[in-house]
Amino acid sequence: MPRYKLVFFTPTSSTQTILAHLFAHFPRSVGRIGLYGGCAFVSRGTGQFVPQEGAQPAIGQVGTPERVEEDRVEVVVHASADPASGVEMHRVLEELKKVHPYEEVAYDVYKLEPF
């Protein structure tokens, strides 16, 4: 089954809630490395953004620059494009978006090569 690295950014206060949600919904697919579950790497930094007209920001005001203490969260995802083969990556992303506090979730997905 293909493996991916999901990287997302979230306010530090939401990191553990999001991880717990993803681990609970996808216990054999998200954060699984060999015989270990619940694996993630979290690094702290500062995110910045300016909500544009029409946005409904969870933090900040439209038109005002905002800086937020955020975590960069990295997890391995065992996923497939084929529903019969197991969890699909788009389902993991849907769950991330459901539980994440931001209106627009910043994330990256990288396909991992088997070596």
Query: What is the per-residue pLDDT for 81?
Result: 62
- Give pLDDT tens digits for 43-75: 999 999 999 999 999 999 999 999 999 999 999
Structural domains of the chain sorted by starting position, each given as residue range(s) with its CATH number in brackets: 3-112 (3.30.70.120)
DSSP string, 23-88: HHH-TTTBS-BTTB-S--EEEEEEEEE-PPTT---SSS-TTS-EEEEEEEEEEEEE-BSSGGGS-B
Tell me which amino acid residue 37 is. G
Question: pTM of whole model > 0.85?
Answer: yes
86-110 pLDDT, tens digit each: 678 999 999 999 999 999 999 999 9
